[in-house]
Amino acid sequence: MPRIRPLSAALASCLLIGCSTAALSPNRVVAIGTVQGRDAASPRVAERVTVAGVVTLKAGGGWFLQDAGDGDDATSDALWVDDPQGLSAVTPGDRVQVSGEVAEQPAGGGTRTALLHPQVRELGQGTAAVVDLTGTPADWERYEGMSVRFTEPLNLDGSHELERRGRVLASLGERPWQASERTAPGSAQWRAVESDNGRRQVWLQATPDVWPAAMSHARTGSRLQRVAGVLDESDAGRGLHLSVTPELLPASRPQPPQVEGNLRVAALNLENLFNGDGHGGGFPTPRGARSPAELAAQLAKHVATLRGLDADVVALMELENDGYGPESSLASLVSALNADGGDWRPVNAGQGPGDNPIRVGLIYRAGRVRPQGKPATLEGGPFGPHSRVPMAQAFVPLQRGRASGPAFVVAANHFKSKGCSGAEGADRDQHDGAACWNATRTESARRLDAWLKSDPTKSGSDLAIIVGDLNAYAQESPVRTLADAGWRDAFAVAGVASPYSYVYDGRIGRLDHALLSPSLSARLRGAAEWHSNADEPETSGYRDGGDGPWRSSDHDPLLLGFDMHR
């Protein structure tokens, strides 16, 4: 619509402070706070009102307007002006009077107060006040649509939507934890942690020119300070449209972990190591590398990770289930590890285990340990169609080529994932934080415990470790079932504070576990996770050309040290 000629400065000032304007407009100008009200929804929905203020931000389909306030700290002083056709040619910094119909528009998980079918009068130029937020607001609704500035740094919780949607997930206070890592799923404590997480997290939205140059390579756990913008709701929850470039305080990359002990056991999720046909063809693979170059980069990352861990036995997850021959993915990994004269060997189960496209595996250093007997696998029940078939192997520690300690058993595991495809009955999402297939994972844990206690490797040893990706956080029933059966959390035994191996939805927790028999727990000398993967952005991975061990997987590897020699 055509612009109306600007009013005099005196009359414009009158409009901004809400004084009587009957002579100027058919509608009296009211403070935006009286339109917003103190509740989540406006008390004036469906009414036509007139407000005045400063345009703070234009976004898709409209713009935000903020006034000087109504003197009530419980109400927001800003709202959204819905202008999907862009008929109002306003820009940030314009002072305008707007008449429109009040509505509550769906936005993310809530609504935002908006004016529909706006009629706009220009008043000149102005500046909206920026409200300083110290800590996490007790009531975010009070700041809906307003220009705010955080006085303390925010955590970078996730940048997985930076490239696609131009936003990152951030939080105030400590980094958010998966609630079922700390508390029992569905409990009152669990609900409290979930509520606190939601209260502290906010999506930061910006155009590419606003982000710090290093943002696409920043690790989660980095910090952002001088964060300011306009508060809104997004399709994923609370959002802040950044108005200035924040300062990035990047988190440093950790060195490989060191643990005490004379025998070291590690676990690593390979994130779908597939090698095509094993002869340079067969690309793109069903789940992993799309080209020989990507496979080479993926292998290089896994080799760098395993050399950094310097373990004697390694349990592997998400390995292509393509046999044990020279063309297999397992052979490709072992060959890459031995390229400089290493002595790595695979545990050969003959076939499988299982017929899932991915499997577990075990590799070892022939100069440090020796397999005792044959590997054992557990098929049937949940193993095969859902959880990957576990594999156990007994080993004997070596010194100068001779046995130097008792046999111990390593059982590699990978339980059913949390995705809901095909889940029925008790395996459906119970909305308690454990997601789908929890019943199957719990049954997997029960059967695994009974199987290992039957001495499947015929080693006669009571020194055993359950290790791998259980797809369950520490307080969920699969892990608790094993704990109740006597298996001991290696990280708790070692006194490691706040371990985590995975980042999902900006929240940290453990899907990867090491559970020890009581006898083996007495020999534990150290436990560590190498946060080389979970905190790294996808741009560090093999598909984007990142160097070194970083983002070799989406799971962090773990490392345990034991005193095993006589």
Residue pLDDT, tens place only, 410-468? 999 999 999 999 999 999 999 999 999 999 999 999 999 999 999 999 999 999 999 99
Q: Where are the alpha helices (DSSP H) in 237-375?
A: 292-309, 329-337
- What pLDDT sits at residue 7? 36
Coil, strand or helix: which one is 494? coil
Percentages helix, strand, coil for the chain (3-state, rounded to 5) are 20, 35, 50
Residue type, 481: T
Coil, strand or helix: which one is 459? coil
Q: What dotted CATH number matches 263-562?
A: 3.60.10.10
Residue, of 13 and 455, whose pLDDT is higher: 455
Nearest to 350 by CA among 378, 320, 375, 372: 375
Distance of CA 302 to the CA centre of its chain: 21
Rg of the chain, C-alpha, whole Å: 29
Partners of 519 in the β-ladder: none
Strand extents, DSSP E, 143-227 = 147-150, 154-158, 167-171, 201-205, 223-225
- What pLDDT sits at residue 237? 84
Query: Which pair of tokens denotes residue 97?
Result: 């009077």
- What pLDDT sits at residue 27? 67
Split at pLDDT 50, 70, 90, the class of 22 is very low
Coil, strand or helix: which one is 225? strand
- What pLDDT sits at residue 376? 98
Nearest to 488 by CA among 454, 519, 521: 521
pLDDT exceeds 60 at position 13? no
What mean pLDDT do residues 399-418 have? 97
pLDDT exceeds 80 at position 47? yes
If one counts every other C-beta atom within 10 angstroms of the C-beta of residue 419, the result is 11
Least confident of 7-21, 289-303, 452-466: 7-21
pLDDT exceeds 90 at position 189? yes
The 3 state secondary structure assigned to 330-350 is HHHHHHHHCCCCCCEEECCCC
Instruction: Check whether the bond before 153 is cis (ω within 30° of 0).
Output: no
Split at pLDDT 50, 70, 90, the class of 110 is confident
Contacts of 227 by beta carbon, 8 Å cutoff, 6+ apart: 149, 150, 153, 154, 170, 204, 240, 242, 246
Q: Phi/psi at 121 (nearest 5 deg)?
A: -120, 125
Mean pLDDT of all residues in the chain?
Answer: 94
**Dist. CA 363–CA 355, nearest whole Å:** 20
pTM for this prediction: 0.92
Torsion on CA atoms 103, 106, 112, 113, rounded to nearest 10:
0
What percentage of the chain carries pLDDT values higher than 90? 91
Strand extents, DSSP E, 353-390 = 358-365, 369-377
Query: Which pair of tokens denotes residue 414?
Result: 């990978």
- What pLDDT sits at residue 118? 96
Write out pLDDT tens, residues 476-519.
Answer: 999 999 999 999 999 999 999 999 999 999 999 999 999 999 99
Pairing state of beta strands 201-205 and 237-242?
Answer: parallel
What percentage of the chain carries pLDDT values higher than 70? 95
If one counts every other C-beta atom within 10 angstroms of the C-beta of residue 348, the result is 16
The CATH 3.60.10.10 domain(s) of the chain lie at 263-562
CB 50 within 8 A of CB 99: yes
Residue type, 461: S
- What pLDDT sits at residue 60? 83
Torsion on CA atoms 443, 445, 447, 451, rounded to nearest 10:
180
The CATH 2.40.50.140 domain(s) of the chain lie at 9-125
Q: What dotted CATH number matches 131-249?
A: 2.40.50
If one counts every other C-beta atom within 10 angstroms of the C-beta of residue 496, the result is 14
Partners of 60 in the β-ladder: none
Split at pLDDT 50, 70, 90, the class of 234 is confident
CATH homologous superfamily of 9-125? Nucleic acid-binding proteins (2.40.50.140)
Partners of 112 in the β-ladder: 105
Partners of 202 in the β-ladder: 170
pLDDT exceeds 50 at position 15? no
